[in-house]
Amino acid sequence: MDSRTATPDSALAHPPSDFIDGRFVQLRGGSAAIVARDPADPQRVTWTGEPVLSHVDDAVASARSALRSWSGRPLEARVAILRRWQEVTAAHAERIAAQVCDEMGKTIAECRFEARALAEKVDITLDRISFSRVSDYELAVGATRSGACRFRPHGVLAVLGPFNFPAHLPNGHFVPALILGNTVVLKPSEKTPGTGQLLAELMHEAGIPAGVFNVVQGGAESAARLVAHDDIDGILFTGSWPVGRRILAANLDRPGRIVALEMGGNNPAVVMPTANLRQAAIECVRSAFATTGQRCTCTRRLIVHRAVADRFVPLVLKAASTLLVGPGRSGTPIFMGPVATAAAAEATLRFQSDLAAAGGRVLLESTRVRPPEAPEGHFVTAGIVEVPGFSRDRDEELFGPILQVAVVDSIDEAIAQAGATRFGLAASLFSADDGEWEAFFAGVRAGCVNRNTGTAGASSKLPFGGLGLSGNHRPAAAFSVDYCAHPVASMVERGAEAAVPAGMQWDDRWLGSA
């Protein structure tokens, strides 16, 4: 295969490796090697290495061995190391952004935003509002009896990261996990292995003790081995529903194992007659096509009231048709980079064709595009298809830049169409009517329900997660501390006497003969 290897200015300091027990274990090439490529230049190989299944066992054993020492450290000592992580990631933000851009393909501006978020997660985790939910407390439960609630780490946590935010989203899991005393085994997406390795290199630079943080590379086989491993205590996953389902199936006989799933979405945005149409058009286009449609919060279904459809839909078409597509490192400002793989580009165009075959009308056609500076990249333009309506029977999450549009006649119909999905991650309403907002908020089941702003983009200072096929009531972001520790209740009797319960006889003289 005629492929260029990683360029000399690679962000990585080590050859392709796993990180186990504080050491980088180099991975050789082979017939089963993972080959990560730059989506803007697929001939350029950014990382390649053959996973070693036994490394999963080694990493779990390392994390288990380090658990007692790490969890036994005072909270302040663990926080100090994560503060060092904060400093290291801030210092290397440009290096992180470059690695993400080369592997995932999104714009360098988006990659820089992601890189900055790593350091911010430490402060968000330790924020008084968030951390108070896992702070120990005591109270009186009787005249001489006190009660206490103390929080303990789960133990060894497996973190499975996605390709679309390969640094930020795993970081959102493992920072609170480590602060609360857990040890971690991270398996990055096989599409972005270099970013996972870079996280290990930076964690090593931050001084994490051996075994506390481990990284193992691999695809589905490695993931399956990790999530079904007998010696882990929890799984923190970001990815698709089909993979989340397999994780649940592998753990049906382990009800005590924490499983936090953040999965996809088929997110609606509703535009009503009182909406600011300029604001709504900009936000809907931004949310539909941010990260080339490869965010779980992207708007995929646009629901427009008939009274404004003739004015609003043309605005969306015009704005979407202006989106600049090109390589993430383009010298000119671009909005969309390539999709991550050739298969994703093909799936985008096939999805558009399937919608048209089912009665949809293509208003803006998504097509392949070949920028002069990157003619072989996986580039597709934004596509918009008008459909008769939405139903659970056709409820597919496409990770690509296709927006479906349907027209309704009332807020009630809009709410019904918004709810015609098995997912429940994000939803938005554009309306100046408070009554419509209250009806929408009450009628739409989603973990993130916005008003006059798009579905894509969330505040890390709030909970982030969904319902239905989007999640299992384990929201991340500001609430990630909740799934990284469990409460233990204790009652302590301080009095000298114990009351004899009704139905029991007691004679203190028995003490002398005992």
What are the DSSP calls for 193-257, one per residue? Answer: HHHHHHHHHHHHHTTPPTTTEEE---SHHHHHHHHT-TT--EEEEES-HHHHHHHHHHTTT-TTS
pLDDT digits (tens, 9 = 90+) for 381-424: 999 999 999 999 989 999 999 999 999 999 999 999 999 999 99
To the nearest whole number, what is the mean pLDDT of the chain? 96
- Which of 262, 283, 386, 397 is labelled catalytic? 262
SS3 65: helix
> 147-195, pLDDT tens digit by residue?
999 999 999 999 999 999 999 999 999 999 999 999 999 999 999 999 9
296 a catalytic residue? yes
One of 101, 111, 284, 296 is an active-site residue; which one?
Answer: 296
Work out the average pLDDT over 102-119.
97
Question: Which two structure tokens, joined as six digits, stand for 488?
Answer: 């233990």
pLDDT of residue 514: 61
Residue 66: which of 186, 185, 175, 204 has the closest Cα?
A: 185
Answer with the residue of higher pLDDT: 60 or 497: 60
Q: Which two tokens stand for residue 84?
A: 């060092």
Q: Which of 161, 89, 79 is nearest to 119 (CA)?
A: 89
pLDDT of residue 496: 83
Q: Is 149 a catalytic residue?
A: no
The 10 Å CB-count burial string (b at 16+, else e) for 295-327 is bbbbbbbbbbbeebbeebbebbbebbeebebbb
